[in-house]
Amino acid sequence: MPRFRNVPALLLPALLAAPAAWAQNTVIQAENVRHEYAQVLRAEPVYQTLRATSMVERCEQSTPVEQGAEPRRGLARVVGAVKDVLTPEDGDEMPADGAATGAGNCRMVPVERQFRRPIAYDVDYVHRGVKYRSRLPYDPGNRLRVRVSVTPVVPPAGGG
């Protein structure tokens, strides 16, 4: 057994270092997690406002006044105006695509439109008597599923 005479001398430093290495490599249990439901108090949408500009053709048409015709009054004036607009005259037919023919002064004008769309919701809710607020990407409805995590506080090594 002369070959193993130095083995205890080699193992002694490893055995002395083991408690220190064990303390540094201590595995802490993963957190304890469960899911519960919270009561939603309010869900207010957060909007994004988008602006879009498009070019639209606007035409100003001049309507000639008929000579010798009596001026219309009251209801007859309204009915006559609607009739004049809806009845095409000879040569003033509307093309199949609905565009006006050269019977007016047309030009392209920019028209700006605004669109609002919800991008998130500010949600107020209560869980176990405590009020919380979170911004969510959806409206949760009357109740909200929450993640409850419990992890013990472990003081640093050597501290107290």
| Residue 44, number of CB atoms within 10 A of its CB | 14
Reported as type and span, the H/E element at residue 58 is strand 32-60
Q: Which residue has the tokens 């607020």?
A: 133
Dist CA 97 CA 107 (whole Å):
18
Reported as type and span, the H/E element at residue 133 is strand 130-136
Reported as type and span, the H/E element at residue 143 is strand 143-150
In this predicted model, what pLDDT tens digit does every residue of 76-99 receive, in sequence order?
Answer: 776 777 677 666 665 455 555 445
Q: How confident is the model at residue 134 (pLDDT cuts 50, 70, 90)?
A: very high
Q: How confident is the model at residue 118 (pLDDT cuts 50, 70, 90)?
A: very high
